[in-house]
Amino acid sequence: MHDKSGKGAADGSSAGGGTAAAAQNSSHLNGHSVSPNGFNPAITPAPPQQSDTRVPSPVPDPAAIIPRDQWGGKYEFLLSCIGYCVGLGNVWRFPYLCYRNGGGVFLIPYFIMLFVTGVPLFLMELSLGQYGSAGPIMVWKCCPLLKGIGIGMLCVSTLVCLYYNVIIAWTFYYLGSSFQSPLPWSCDAIANVAICANRTVGNSSSERPRTPTEIFWNEKVLGVVNSEGLHDPGPVRWPLALCLLAAWIIIFLCMLKGIRSSGKVVYVTATFPYFVLVVLIIRGATLEGSLQGVAFYLTPDWSRLANAQVWNDAASQIFYSLGIGVGGLLSMASYNKFDNNVIRDTIVITIGNCGTSFFAGFAIFSILGHMAWRKGVPVGEVADRGPGLAFVAYPEALALLPGSVFWSIMFFLMLFMLGVDTLFGNMEGITTAVLDEFPNLRRNTFHKSLFLGGLCFTFYLMGLLLVTDGGIYWFTLIDSFSTSFGLIIITLFMCIGISFFYGINQFCQDIIDMICHCPPWCSKVLIYFKACWVFCTPFLLLFILIYIFLEMYNTPLHYGSYVYPRWGKGLGVCMGATCCLQILIWAVVAISKETGSLQERFKKAIRPLNSWRVNNLNSAARSQEHVEPELVEAPYTVTLTDQDFTAMTWEMGSSA
């Protein structure tokens, strides 16, 4: 929707100056040639038209521009993204979904959804962050109408951070409890001897007898037996509260120096889980009954392909595991060098993430198969979903292994590192957005540390609700709605906004500009991505969104035997609606700041801001040794002002 001709060439070129048309039109301006990236630092744009009464912003002093950090190397960025994407969902969610939805057949809809929605949206988010060199809010200078997408991402990321660190706190609790022999949830523990004896002899009750791991999880850790539901949270469980405090302190220390510190931490946190998974697969392969578990995991049920639930689960797992639409990917990519190959990174990270999910299933179900063999029951009776798989079924299986203490320590240490890496990405999305809005925080280390400490402490105080006796009910509510329909709507508008407002051709040209020596395969792959962004991805996102609304209306929310009241479900819907309504609110704000008819206001609101071009010139200059950023002479601003909301025009006629 950009005007690419005449004086309106700025609408396309100001989005990055990368289109061939913009470069050709401006190549003779003032007698200067234009660089391959579509700009020449020596070119000074003409002053605004006389009809514009607003005074141009002063030329920014280059010394006053606060530089952004950059990754120490491409491997730090790759490991950070892999650590962010490979999280707890790969271990406890994917294996469960795979066996519940037809075993090996589930891989068919999973990979279709991956290549039609997951990979294109992943590339879009990485490219947008890297090209704009800005966080999830400031990056929408490319289309001010959609600034609410960045605000919505921030809301989703806040909800995710709020409950995700509670999982790390649970992991801490189990990790500390694992340094006991025998394990406190095993039948060898003195407190559990009578329970295990009753289960072995037989129970006259018609209800299924509880296991020591279930008792430990529900009574010792959660205390959920002391709560009646959402309305009865009960007191804070202080052992869990201390674990939650320790988790936030670790996150604070790892992020204290930004990507310079977190980029080094990922060398351990992103690689150690793979070592543990390999060891667990090798150990599981030697156990009796392991093949039974793997067969249960992969046995195909072709009839499941006709079920819409399978396709929805495949799509939801893609979003859950890749972290799309939360802002973490966009923020981490904003610290890349301008000429980083985002297409290569996208392929490596997405394929690596999904491969990890698939192979994690072998580690999980080989040991669950051994537990089913030991107990003489089908594998389906020992498998569980979500936290139940990680904190009930698997600990029980580990307790049956020789050297159970060692394996338990390894497993929960792996979960801890998986959780920390994912939380890094979510927190990076929040901190980057704030630091972009208040750039002076980057310069003042003390104020930045104070802000980060205050943010972590605020999240800790809010998270105390989730470590009460009834905290699991609130945890499930936030988990169910924070990344539900609100996240899908945000990604749908991101896809539509970039494709039709910013311009799909312009966006593809921006990617080519970043990959300075774009190999032929990159250009051909972009044709596929262009088709996905314009047609396939929005269509599938709409399908997922409709299915979510139908399921949400027809299916009651429950945790165990507890069914959530209507007001509780309504509260969850409000959480999701708050996130996606930011798009509408900030679109109205953007349009109200323009002048003219409604149609004219809309056209102005979808044009890139003046400062969007300056950001990109500076980003490209930092990546080219022969171009000095000080040479950029333009009356633009880096911060949002009234001048920003009038798109820059180039005097191409007599003034040229």
* pLDDT score, position 208: 58
Torsion of CA 204, 205, 211, 215, to 10 degrees: -130
Q: Are 601 and 594 in contact (CB under 8 A)?
A: yes
Length of the chain: 656
Q: Where in the chain is the domain with CATH 1.20.1740?
A: 74-586
Neighbours of 490 (CB within 10 A): 26
Closest CA to 84 of 291, 352, 365: 352
* pLDDT score, position 128: 93
Residue 641 has φ and ψ, to the nearest 5°, of -135, 180
Q: Are 373 and 292 in contact (CB under 8 A)?
A: yes
* pLDDT score, position 507: 93
- Whether the upstream peptide bond of residue 182 has omega within 30° of 0, thus cis, is yes
Q: What is the mean pLDDT of residues 289-300?
A: 86
* pLDDT score, position 456: 95
Judge whether residue 503 has pLDDT over 50: yes
Q: Are 533 and 124 in contact (CB under 8 A)?
A: yes
Annotated binding site for Na(+): 83, 86, 90, 321, 353, 418, 421
Judge whether residue 251 has pLDDT over 70: yes
* pLDDT score, position 454: 94
Q: What is the mean pLDDT of residues 46-58?
A: 40
Judge whether residue 361 has pLDDT over 50: yes
Per the prediction, the chain carries an average pLDDT of: 80
**What is the SS3 assignment for 295?**
helix
More confident residue, 122 or 93: 122
**Lowest mean pLDDT segment, chosen from 162-176, 204-218, 220-234, 423-437:** 204-218
**Lowest mean pLDDT segment, chosen from 16-25, 59-68, 190-199:** 16-25
CATH of 74-586, one of 1.10.1330, 1.20.1740, 1.10.3470, 3.40.1710: 1.20.1740
Residue 645 CB partners (closer than 8 Å, separation 6+)? 144, 590, 593, 594, 604, 609
**What is the SS3 assignment for 656?**
coil
Closest CA to 336 of 94, 130, 181, 527: 130
* pLDDT score, position 551: 83
Q: Residue 359: exposed, middle, or buried by beta-carbon count in 10 A (0-12, 13-18, 19+)?
A: middle
Neighbours of 507 (CB within 10 A): 23
More confident residue, 613 or 395: 395
Q: What is the mean pLDDT of residues 513-531?
A: 82
Structure token pair of residue 554: 């027809």
* pLDDT score, position 18: 39
Judge whether residue 501 has pLDDT over 90: yes
* pLDDT score, position 646: 41
* pLDDT score, position 14: 37
C-alpha 377: how far from chain center:
38
* pLDDT score, position 588: 95
Judge whether residue 126 has pLDDT over 80: yes
Cα 594 from Cα 20, distance rounded (Å): 29
* pLDDT score, position 558: 87
Q: What is the mean pLDDT of residues 630-639?
A: 37
Closest CA to 15 of 132, 125, 124, 136: 132
Q: What is the pLDDT of residues 570-603, one digit of tens each?
A: 999 999 999 999 999 999 999 999 988 999 999 9
3-state secondary structure string across 74-126: HHHHHHHHHHHHCCHHHHHCHHHHHHHCCHHHHHHHHHHHHHHHHHHHHHHHH
**Lowest mean pLDDT segment, chosen from 36-50, 175-189, 296-310:** 36-50
More confident residue, 99 or 432: 432
Q: What is the mean pLDDT of residues 54-81?
A: 65
* pLDDT score, position 304: 85
Q: Are 80 and 73 in contact (CB under 8 A)?
A: no
Cα 252 from Cα 201, distance rounded (Å): 50
Q: What is the mean pLDDT of residues 391-400?
A: 87
Q: What is the pLDDT of residues 219-233, one digit of tens each?
A: 999 999 999 999 999
Q: What is the pLDDT of residues 14-42, one digit of tens each?
A: 334 433 333 333 333 333 333 333 333 33
Judge whether residue 204 has pLDDT over 60: no
Distances in whole angstroms, Cα of residue 9 to Cα of each of 5, 18, 622 = 5, 12, 25
* pLDDT score, position 199: 63
Percent of the chain with pLDDT strictly greater than 70 = 81
Annotated binding site: 83, 86, 90, 321, 353, 418, 421
H or E stretch at 562: strand 562-563
- Identify which of 131-135, 282-286, 470-474 has the greatest average pLDDT: 470-474
Judge whether residue 408 has pLDDT over 90: yes
Q: Place 619 in a pLDDT band, splitting at 50, 70 and 90.
A: low
Judge whether residue 625 has pLDDT over 70: no
* pLDDT score, position 539: 92
* pLDDT score, position 631: 37
Q: Place 88 in a pLDDT band, splitting at 50, 70 and 90.
A: confident
Q: Place 153 in a pLDDT band, splitting at 50, 70 and 90.
A: very high
